[in-house]
Amino acid sequence: MLNLTKFAVNKAEGCPVATQDIEKNLENRQDAIDKAAYGPLNPNEPNTDFWEKKAEKWDVSIEEAKKSRCGNCAVFIQTPKMMNCIREGLAAGDSMENAWDTARAGQLGYCESFDFKCASKRTCDAWVVGGPVR
């Protein structure tokens, strides 16, 4: 049964709840880790085991697997409206300036498949060619 509350939208803001609520975001991100092997944990590290598993799953070379990242996925949303939602959520309890810096540093976007703030350098088994959506 589909859990529709996972994809709830904050009506007042027009933003997905996960962009505004850290607990919901973490819950949904864990769902992506558990169900679709979202990762790697630190994309700036070699992560050889992670990429070997992705390459094997997709039946491609490791180099080819590394080209399939959230940042070029068709469900990675970086529209101006979505980026404002992400920054507003990050700014809660902090400054908007720090929120902009965080969003840029993490090259964040919104994963429409799993409903969470997603880092562009990561990937998951649900990756779809054709993104990002801007």
- In a domain? residue 125: no
How far from 49 is each of 63, 68, 79, CA to CA, in Å? Answer: 13, 16, 33
What residues make up the domain containing 56?
Answer: 14-119
pLDDT at position 33 is 98
- In a domain? residue 82: yes
Give this prediction's pTM.
0.83
- In a domain? residue 39: yes
- In a domain? residue 88: yes
Domain count, the chain: 1
- In a domain? residue 128: no
What is the residue type of 126? A
- In a domain? residue 47: yes
- In a domain? residue 4: no
Kind of pairing between the strands at 9-10 and 116-119 = unpaired
- In a domain? residue 87: yes
pLDDT means per 10 residues in the chain (134 residues)?
A: 42 80 95 98 95 98 97 97 92 64 77 96 97 96
pLDDT at position 90 is 85
